[in-house]
Chain A
Amino acid sequence: MATVLVDGQEIELAAGERINGIQAAARAGADIPHYCWHPGLTVVASCRMCLVETGRRDPATGEITMLPKLVPGCQTPATDGTVFVTKGEKIEAARAMVEEDLLIRHPIDCPICDKAGECALQDYHFEHGREERRADLQPFTSRRRELGDTVTLFVDRCVMCTRCVRFSREISGDAELMVVNRGAHEEIDVFPGFPLDNKLSGNVVDICPVGALGDRDFLYTQRVWFMKSHDNVCAGCSTGCSIKVEENQDKIYRLKPRENPHVNQWWMCDEGRYGWKHVHDPARLTLPRRAGKDGYENVDWSTLPGELDTKLSASKRIAVVLSPHLTVEDAYQLAKYVRGIDEQALLVQGPVPTEGEDERFPSGFTIRAEKCPNRRGVEEVIVGIAKELVTWDDFLGRLTDESFDAVWVTGGYKTDWNDESVAKRFSSIPLLIVQDVFASPLWNSATYQLPGATFAERDGSYVNHADRLQSFSWAVRPPAGVTTEGQLYWRLRKSPGLYNSRAVRDDLTRELLYFSAAAGGVCEYGIDLKVNLLAEV
């Protein structure tokens, strides 16, 4: 096994593992500052912030020979016998030099910079920089230009790490970004008339280590230190990118990708990134209502479960439509609940929204045509319990021939997902419960209108297109008046206390073979459910 020595501490590498000095040091708990290096991009070793000392340990004698000069940790592979020293006078002097250099022409306008609080230049300067400014130059020019609809460039804040340029060439592939000019006159720019407009554009803001690239959507809306970050999973498409929801007092300000080597690496698409606005849409439905003689009347959440239970229990033939926006736990709870009343209750898969074709980028990152997070998970819950999959279209067809006493439809779609002709098919259903986020023709013809939750408000798990299950907890509370699906179903099933998605997941992983790989728990990168399927074969 390969052994690397970092500041005297031995680090073991797995067989075939290829990591650099920065990564090796991180394992030893040593943080090597860096700007230009990013694990997802080619190594350029140009910022020179990650300079360390390196050498080799002779395997026979144990004697260590060090190189006389500093080397960039990013460029130096950690192999058996490699020695890294990440601390010391020489290294600190080099870091102080780079910090001083980078600040020579930097405006130091942190008080008005969005990046303040999460800025590498700020943090590293605090840790490694000089206390005094020796450069006799006052650089404040504050030039700003828009690179595209999503990203703005504060020219003078840039430290020329070129991460964004490499991203546009290596990951998104449209190569809209460039460096112009040479030497100290260099700047980042786009070619006139060719803005940064690819669907991964927002990522350049994430990878910008300083405040040069600003997210126009987020700009000046919130200081980063006021926000709390919650791990979540993007509900925009069936890729299911690992994300962070960043909010303050239940208001979301931005979504950020969360590293997941099995799903999205370090990236997410703009569709997902900016796809949270509906969470705070004033048109959100917030009151549970019951159809009465004189139109709809409000129902209290405290009495609602009992009322629904009574009505449903009196129904003989029940169908539930399980939206691919539901979590696995939601779908399982609702399915189990209705099957408890009607053993033959029809479990229907809600409409699976698709848009165009899958879009694959040079890096392999893919935006899927399937615009929902949990088609696979809901499908498997249905198949697992009912042994057959009834699609939405099947169901609409069956509505003409079969009669149902009660139908419960779950929605959660961002856009109009049903029309009058669909609603008409449900007109003869005595008990139509529609649980949704926005009003629709179907909603307007419901017996019971139940407001639902959005992705950021739910607890539970999604299964992405590749059978990877990821679990998450709520990031913001739903608007006043809304009870999440999970909580409602929990109460319908008369489970004790508050909704516990983990307990539901434990139940379903025991019951449904497909999910069994998640029985032991789910780590931050999720669980590959195929592991189990392969074993079955």
Chain B
Amino acid sequence: MAEFEPVLLANINQDDSHTLRGYESCGGYAGLKRVLGGMSANAVKELVKESGLRGRGGAGFPTGLKWTFLPKDHPGPIYFCLNADESEPGTFNNRILMEEDPHQVIEGLIISCFATAASTAYFYMRYEYPLAWKRVQAAVDECYAAGYLGENILGSGYSLDIFLHRGAAAYICGEETGLIESLEGRRAWPRIKPPFPAVEGAFRKPTVVNNVETAACVKQIVDRGADWFRSIGVQPDPDNPRDPGSFGPKLYCLSGHIEKPGCYEAPLGITVNELIDKYGGGVWKGRKAKAAIPGGISMGLLTVDEFDCPLDFAGPGKYGCLGLGTAAVVVVDETVSMVDFLHNSCQFFSHESCGQCTPCREGTSWALKMMNRIKAGKGRLKDLDLLLEIADNIGIIPGTTICGLADGAAWPMKNAIRKFRGEFEEYIKSTNPDGYQETNPVPVWETIGAH
């Protein structure tokens, strides 16, 4: 393979990379002009399908296929939601794209809207990104002024509005139907599917929800072609007919105990080791790594012995993790207690569970209470089995919840306890020498009252 050249991040270090002038000076909006100048919506759809692009938001669903789920010849309106509610712990690639190269995202978004015949796009951005908010808003304004947005874009007859919609700090709004509910002004409780958003989404109309990085990839595919995209990444597993492969460049976020944390663009399939060594400058302070999150905390944990795991859509699953997720790698060094790690994870998911489905609402809350107790030196070995029982039974995979948040809560529990059980047991025994074998319910540790 030829030396990999970043495209998504190619311009972020240039002056004015976030302005229209800066973007156009690097050839920006040429792709859009070509699309609107002569391609049919179907042709764009086919192009994206052919590229094998899979959604960058976490689930990795093939983007072109998602678009084809829209009803044929729908009278409209069709809505497009750009998911910029990036909230997965460890993940910040969308933020960098929006702050440093917002026009790339917007161009990809306009092309995606054209391909899906959407007439309105809602750019749903999390509240925690004030700079990205300003830059995207400015970029959208520039686009209206330049005729890339609004009525009859570039004389093509195609019209599109992009409206920014600001979240209010809730992780679940990143789930596509949670996002839609939030957009509609209700609590962001994910919807039951079917109907899928492509059939009945925002305002009960057909809707596509795509991630920011996905939109940027669409722009690159239009510029460089499907073959270029397929030349990067990992081919489908020939033994698995349902594996669509992992093509294209990916923005990997590297953080935690790493010398050079940051967002790096690499071909899908790079291993954790490569990422740490080639991009991250090694583990922090020359320490040894103990574990790493492969793609945001909800994907679980890899032990240091599993760092040869390729970070493509299928890779982490082979190592007992949930999947590639957002490809946000968080390195955990040897000084970290897994009890602390899991406590932090449980704290996050208990705080962010939307509270709709019983198993997730109660399971994540109960798990945190147990972790609080373990951390405080009142743990029992039995707790580990209880935590695993919760983890094994909550989520969309066993079918006990509506959305995947619970799976994300479950995987760190499963991986941490199964892969580091000795450490947990040791901690419990040493901090609770008199009671670690107790199996009866313990007295109240933390009462739940008004909050």
A-side interface residues toward B, CB under 8 Å?
Answer: 43-49, 51, 67, 69-72, 75, 93-94, 97-98, 101-102, 104-105, 133-139, 141, 143, 159-160, 179, 181-186
Contact = CB atoms under 8 A, between A and B. Distances in A.
21 contacts: A45-B402, A46-B358, A47-B357, A48-B359, A48-B400, A49-B358, A69-B399, A97-B359, A98-B358, A98-B359, A104-B362, A136-B373, A136-B442, A136-B445, A138-B447, A181-B451, A182-B354, A184-B350, A184-B353, A184-B364, A186-B361
B368 to A, nearest CB: 9
A51 B361 CA distance: 17
A48 B351 CA distance: 21
B358 A102 contact: yes
B441 A134 contact: yes
A134 B441 CA distance: 6
Interface in B342-366: 350-359, 361-366
Given A69-B399, A70-B400, A136-B370, A46 B365 contact: no
A93 B393 contact: yes
Contacts of A71: 399
Contact of A159 (B170, B358, B402, B449): B358
Nearest to A186: B355
A71 B399 CA distance: 6
Contacts of B355: 160, 179, 181-186
Interface string B395-424: 011111110000000000000000000000
Interface in B423-451: 441-451
B356 A46 contact: yes
Contacts of B353: 182-184
Closest 7 CB pairs of A and B: A69-B399, A101-B362, A70-B399, A184-B365, A183-B355, A183-B353, A138-B444
Nearest to B352: A183
B451 A185 contact: yes
A262 B356 CA distance: 33
A179 B189 CA distance: 11
Interface string B102-141: 0000000000000000000000000000000000000000
B358 A135 contact: no
Contacts of A160: 355, 358, 361
Interface residues of B, number: 43
A75 B373 contact: no
Of B398, B399, B441, the most chain A CB neighbours within 10 A belong to B399
Nearest to A53: B399
Contacts of B448: 105, 137, 139, 141, 184
A186 B353 CA distance: 11
A448 to B, nearest CB: 64
Of B352, B362, B401, B446, the most chain A CB neighbours within 10 A belong to B362
Contact of B187 (A47, A97, A179): A179
B95 interface: no
Chain B interface main SS type: loop
A98 B448 CA distance: 19
B43 interface: no
Interface in B363-393: 363-366, 369-370, 373, 386, 393
B399 A44 contact: no
B386 to A, nearest CB: 6
A69 B398 contact: yes
Contacts of A48: 357-359, 400-401
Given A104-B365, A138-B447, 14 more contacts: A44-B356, A45-B402, A46-B358, A48-B400, A69-B399, A70-B399, A71-B399, A75-B192, A98-B359, A134-B386, A136-B443, A137-B446, A138-B443, A184-B353
Contacts of A94: 393, 398-400
Nearest to A161: B358
A160 B354 CA distance: 12
A53 to B, nearest CB: 9
B361 A184 contact: yes
A182 B362 contact: no
B93 to A, nearest CB: 26
Nearest to A159: B358
Contacts of B401: 48
B147 to A, nearest CB: 42
A104 B369 CA distance: 11
Contact of B398 (A70, A102, A134): A70
A183 B357 contact: no
Interface string B291-304: 00000000000000
A77 to B, nearest CB: 10
B350 A183 contact: yes
Contacts of A98: 358-359, 400
A89 B435 CA distance: 33
A105 B358 contact: no
Nearest to B439: A134
A141 B444 CA distance: 13
A415 B451 CA distance: 49
A71 to B, nearest CB: 6
Contacts of B365: 104, 183-184
B358 A47 contact: yes
Nearest to B382: A134
A182 B364 CA distance: 12
Contacts of B451: 181, 185
A344 to B, nearest CB: 64
A185 B355 CA distance: 8
A160 B356 CA distance: 8
A137 B368 CA distance: 12
A515 to B, nearest CB: 46
Nearest to A179: B187
Contacts of A46: 189, 356-358, 402
Contact of A69 (B170, B370, B397): B397
A32 to B, nearest CB: 14
B361 A137 contact: no
A372 B21 CA distance: 77
A185 B350 CA distance: 10
B393 A97 contact: yes
B362 A102 contact: yes
A176 to B, nearest CB: 16
Nearest to B441: A136
B358 A44 contact: no
Given A69-B399, A136-B369, A183-B351, A101 B441 contact: no
A125 B364 CA distance: 21
Nearest to A67: B399
A200 B72 CA distance: 43
Interface in B61-111: none
Contacts of A181: 355, 451
A183 B386 CA distance: 20
Contacts of B361: 101, 160, 183-184, 186
A72 B350 CA distance: 23
Contacts of B354: 182-183
B352 A51 contact: no
B362 A184 contact: yes
Nearest to A99: B358
Contacts of B350: 183-184
A494 B423 CA distance: 92
A47 B446 CA distance: 25
Given A101-B363, A184-B365, A51 B399 contact: yes
Contacts of B402: 45-46
Contacts of A51: 399-400
Contacts of A102: 358, 362
A101 B398 contact: no
Contacts of B396: 69
Of A45, A135, A136, the most chain B CB neighbours within 10 A belong to A136
Given A46-B356, A98-B358, A183-B353, A104 B398 contact: no
Contacts of B352: 183
Contact of B192 (A43, A135, A137): A43
Nearest to B194: A75
A184 B356 CA distance: 9
A46 B400 CA distance: 9
Nearest to B368: A184
